[in-house]
Structures are given as C-alpha cells and as structure tokens.
Amino acid sequence: MKILVCISHVPDTTSKINFTENDTVFDTNGVQFVINPYDEFCLTRAMWFKEKQGATVTVVNVGNASTEPTLRKALAIGADDAIRVNMEATDGLSVAKQLAEVVKSGGYDLVLAGRESIDYNGGMVPGMLAALLDFNFVNGCVGMEVDGTSVSLSREIDGGNESLATALPLVVAGQKGIVEEKDLRIPNMRGIMMARKKPLNVVEPVDAESATMVQSFEKPAPKGSVKLIDAENIDELINLLHNEAKVI
C-alpha cells in the first residue's frame, strides 16, 4: 500500500501574529512554523500502517523552500520520502489540483490529510482532491483500519460517531481520534539524522488558476476590561449582569 500524507506548514498557535502592507500580507518574521496538527494525526496513523502492514509513506507539501524544515520533521518522524510542489499555497482549489497531479503520477492508494489547516481553516482541500481524482472520500475520520483494499472507518457526526466501509483508492480527512495525542511521535536523534539522507523531491507546479484571493486580514477585537466581584457579593454580580452586561 502506497500512502501519501498531505502536510501543511502552519504557524504555531503560540506565535504572535502580525500583518504588513496595510493588513494584506501575513508577516512571517519571528513566527515558528510546525506541522499542521490534524496532518500530524494522519501522519502518525500512516506510520502505524507502515510498521504493521509494510506500507510506504510519502509526505507532500505545496509551498516554497521555507516549508522544507517542516517536511524534514515529517521525515524524521518516519516517512520514507517527501515531495514539495514549488508554489506558494494561497488557494484551496489550486492546492488540490497540485496534489492531484502528485497522486496521479505516484500511483498512491491512500491519501491522508487533516480535515483543515489551522491557519486558513478552509477545510476544503481533501474533498476537492477526492473529487478531482474520483476517489472515495471520508471526512472527519476518527478511526481507520485497512484490510487489503477494504477499509473500515469511523467518522465524527453530530451526537456521536458513524461507522463506514469503503475501498481503496481513498482520500481521508482525519482529526484527533484517528490517533490520540499520546500517540504522536517526537523525532529522536536517530530519526533526525536519517531524515537528512531521505529524498526530498522538488517538483514544479502545473498550471492551475486560483479561484479565491485574500483581500485583507483583520485581527480579532482586543479583549475588554474585566471586573472582579467578591464571591460573597451576589447582589452586585446580578446587578452588573442585568444592567451593564445585559445578559439576564
């Protein structure tokens, strides 16, 4: 089984975010980038298939050269090789088209991707990729087993989980539950050293027009001031909630 894991290069959630050029460009200065957490869950599941079933695992990213350290971390975790499509990722559809070409040329059976990236939170790439490839697709996956070409899955729905059965080839958009946080892997020194020798192939993008573009960014409004009320002063709390906050 050949597995392709899509990796997004995203800012760490602890990073301070700023914008330049009249709030139209994200300022990357001083920002720490990491593997998108949803993608990392999928990569960990792919490593399980590699170790238990002998699958090969390739990671792919659409981005410029600045994303290569993130791909190297994925290689240090245990992926066999990496592909970087040499294009700035600015639009979900154009990214899906680039990934579709990688899947077609590589003959992958299973494509794993996080349900969304934590920067743009678009949640659109896995579904569009499946449509472009005419592959089966499962979103919000929280459990997965493969037996030959048959796949059993569990996905999160309102009020619980849904059990599904399908077949390869398949695109899966995963999240926490496909593995648990305790199962995530931290690269050790041996993995980091081996990652330096693993192939990281750079391919040029195919022609694909963007369907959307960013016009501007806007930070959330700053948090308002906080009033502290003595725990014994219930009357004052009720008065403020009723007359000032107007929530009761």
pLDDT for 118-165, tens place per residue? Answer: 998 999 999 999 999 999 999 999 999 999 999 999 999 998 999 999
Residue 25, phi then psi, degrees to nearest 5: -130, 130
Q: Where are the domains of the chain?
A: 2-221
pLDDT for 138-151, tens place per residue? Answer: 999 999 999 999 99
Radius of gyration of the chain, Cα coordinates, nearest whole angstrom: 21
Residue 88 burial (CB count, 10 A): 13
Could you tell me which CATH number the domain at 2-221 has?
3.40.50.620
pLDDT for 172-215, tens place per residue? Answer: 999 999 999 999 999 999 999 999 999 999 999 999 888 888 89
| Residue owning tokens 């906050």 | 245
Which three-class secondary structure state does DSSP give residue 113?
Answer: strand
Task: State pTM to two decimals.
Answer: 0.88
Partnered with residue 147 across adjacent β-strands are: 150
